[in-house]
Amino acid sequence: MSRDKNSFIASECPGAEGKLFIAHIDDMLRLSEKTCAARFSAFLSEAEAVLAEKYLRYCGHSNYLLYGGYCGAQRVVLGVFPGFSEPEPNEFPIAAVRFYGRAVGGLTHRDYLGSLMALGITRSSVGDIICSEEEAFAMLLPAAADMALGIEKIGRAGVKTELADTSGLERNDSFAEISGTVASLRLDSVLGTALRLSREKACRLIRSGSVSVNHAVTESVSEILSEGDVLSVRGFGRFILDTVGGRTSKDRLHITVKKYL
């Protein structure tokens, strides 16, 4: 490991798991340069994607792409490309499997993921799963997609499968809206409003390492948030600071927070 890499790991991802992850990104960079070909990771969590992008920028490597099979995916694959090659989504080793049939309306994300895991498919081989009343789409690495195409039942529901085109596919998240006023856009103030907790309890959550902002854990109660910031709170779920409005007569800010359902 280089001295610079050690400095990055020490500040951004201390611990054995962080070292292994950064070492994997380094291996991808070296192999891409050596073979003059693109290299791809498995599916990354949102936190891993943030860390990977931060490290690539730290290294000065700009020829990469994070892509999850469709525009706006949460779980993505990292592709690093040689200097002469333009990153292209169609080069990524991602296949979309469509599940459909009369009984799919009662199935949830957990049902689909559980069936995939029961086949021995690892979590890192599975990207986003988008469910609706009529169908569901699972983003998968190719080997996992081959296995998923053999699924005929999820729980007691009979399903059919096929490879699908993801052009035009969009997320269909559902939200509950929470409105309130805050003294400032400090993390502790916004979190207290989102969770309907006192500021003191919100501070305790943050300092315990239970809160992530834009997929990175923070223990700073005074971090200033902006519209669009995503908060993940262990045991409470995920939220997005949707809008920041005008001030009240008592000089407090109107905010709207959306909770992912």
* Residue 137, phi then psi, degrees to nearest 5: -125, 130
Question: Bigger pLDDT: 3 or 47?
Answer: 47
SS (H, E, C) 158-184: ECEEEEECCCCCCCCCCEEEEEEEECC
Instruction: Give pLDDT, residue 10.
Output: 61
Going by pLDDT thresholds of 50, 70 and 90, the confidence category of residue 19 is confident
Per residue in 205-215, pLDDT (tens digit) is 999 999 999 98
pLDDT band per the 50, 70, 90 thresholds, residue 9: low
Amino acid present at 114: G
Look at residues 74, 64, 68, 73 and name the one whose alpha carbon lies nearest to residue 42: 68
Tell me: the pLDDT tens digits for 38-53?
Answer: 999 999 999 899 889 9
Q: Would you say the pTM of this structure is higher than 0.85?
A: no
In contact, 145 and 97? CB cutoff 8 Å: yes
- pLDDT, residue 258, reads 96
pLDDT at 236: 95
Q: Is 157 exposed, middle or buried (0-12, 13-18, 19+ CB in 10 A)?
A: middle
- The H or E element spanning position 66 is strand 64-67
pLDDT recorded at residue 3: 46
Residue 129 near residue 136 (C-beta atoms within 8 A): yes
Residue 8: predicted pLDDT: 73
Tens-place pLDDT, residues 54-92 = 899 888 899 999 999 999 899 999 999 998 888 999 999
Nearest of 143, 194, 139, 166 to residue 71 by alpha carbon = 166
More confident call, 22 vs 68: 68
pLDDT beyond 90 at 1: no
Compute the average pLDDT of residues 202-229: 94
Q: What's the alpha-carbon Rg for the chain, to the nearest Å?
A: 21
pLDDT at 85: 85
Query: According to the model, what pLDDT value does residue 5 have?
Result: 67
The pLDDT of residue 261: 83
How confident is the model over 160-202, as pLDDT tens digits?
A: 999 999 988 988 888 999 999 999 999 999 999 999 999 999 9
pLDDT in tens, 89-145: 999 999 999 999 988 988 999 999 999 999 999 999 999 999 998 999 999 999 999
What is the model's pLDDT at position 12? 67
Q: What is the set of domains in the chain, with CATH numbers?
A: 3-91 (3.30.1370.160), 95-164 (3.30.70.330), 175-260 (3.10.290.10)
Give the whole-angstrom CA distance, residue 93 versus residue 142: 6
Give me the residues paired with residue 224 across strands.
Answer: 186
Give the separation between CA 47 and CA 141, rounded to whole angstroms: 19
Angle 252-256-261 from CA coordinates, rounded to 5°: 150
Rounded CA-CA distance 141/139 in Å is 7
Which one has a higher pLDDT value, 13 or 176? 176
